[in-house]
Amino acid sequence: MAVYPATKAYGTAALRELFTRIEIRSPAEVVWRILTDLEGYAAWNPFIPEAKGELRVGALWRIKIQPHGREAQNYRVRILKIEDSKELRWLGHFHVRGLIDGEHVFEIRPLGRDRIEFIQLEYFRGLLVPLVWKRFLSTHLRNGFEALNQSLKMVAERSSECRKP
């Protein structure tokens, strides 16, 4: 497992880390196009069915998180990093800074011709993290990450198949 240093905007090492990954048989550019098409999220993304904002570092996005079986919650997140076809990273807060702060990362790693590893992880820190880790973050949120991963895989692989001669 890779070690991900926290960014300057986030501060020191995270209190908890939620890490998922999946292999996708699709070029990185196809996965990136799907991941950064915010208007298309409602059609494929069960975990983040809504995202609005500009695709640039420093932009403020409005997102809706919908963990399976839970009520949707709205968040404002600040884009920390965008590296075309490689990484998208944001920082969000549960109500106010310091309760639950999450630095979310989507990473695309090439594995070979038309194959990538998609990594989705989040660093959590804050006063409430130890209290909600087992009851929510490492369960419901993990399930949401996995649902997004599976759905992205299905859409990207189907899109790649349609492009082949």
Q: pLDDT tens across 139-160, in order? A: 788 999 999 999 999 999 998 7
> Looking at residue 75, which CATH number applies to its domain?
3.30.530.20
Asked whether residue 13 is assigned to any structural domain, the reply reads no
Q: Does residue 12 lie in a domain region?
A: no
Q: Tell whether the model's pLDDT for residue 9 goes beyond 50.
A: no
Q: How much is the mean pLDDT over the chain?
A: 88
Helix (H, G, I), strand (E, B), or coil: what is residue 122? strand
The stretches of the chain forming alpha helices (DSSP H) are 28-36, 41-44, 129-132, 142-163
pLDDT at 140: 83
For residue 130, being part of any structural domain is answered with yes
Q: Is the pTM of this model over 0.85?
A: yes
pLDDT (mean) for 74-92: 97
* Dihedral pair phi/psi, residue 60, rounded to 5°: -100, 120
Half-sphere exposure of 126 (CA within 13 A, CB side): 21
Query: Is residue 64 in some structural domain?
Result: yes
Single-letter amino acid, residue 55: L
**Residue 5: inside a domain:** no
Q: Is residue 135 part of a domain?
A: yes
Identify the pLDDT of residue 14: 54
Domains in the chain, number: 1
- Any domain includes 66: yes
On the question of pLDDT at 94 being above 50, the answer is yes
pLDDT band at 134 (very low <50, low <70, confident <90, very high): confident
Tens of pLDDT, residue by residue over 17-59, are 899 999 999 999 999 999 999 999 999 999 999 999 999 999 9
Q: Which residues contact 14 (CB under 8 A, 6 or more apart)?
A: 6, 103, 123, 124, 125
Residue numbers of the domain that contains 115: 18-163
**27-30 contacts at long range (C-beta below 8 A, 24 or more positions apart):** 27/114, 27/116, 27/160, 28/85, 28/86, 28/108, 28/110, 28/116, 29/85, 30/156, 30/159, 30/160, 30/163
DSSP assigned state of 5 = P
Query: Has residue 4 been placed in a domain?
Result: no
pLDDT beyond 80 at 101: yes
Q: How many CA atoms lie within 13 A of 51 on its CB side?
A: 26
What confidence tier does 162 reach under pLDDT thresholds 50, 70, 90? Answer: low
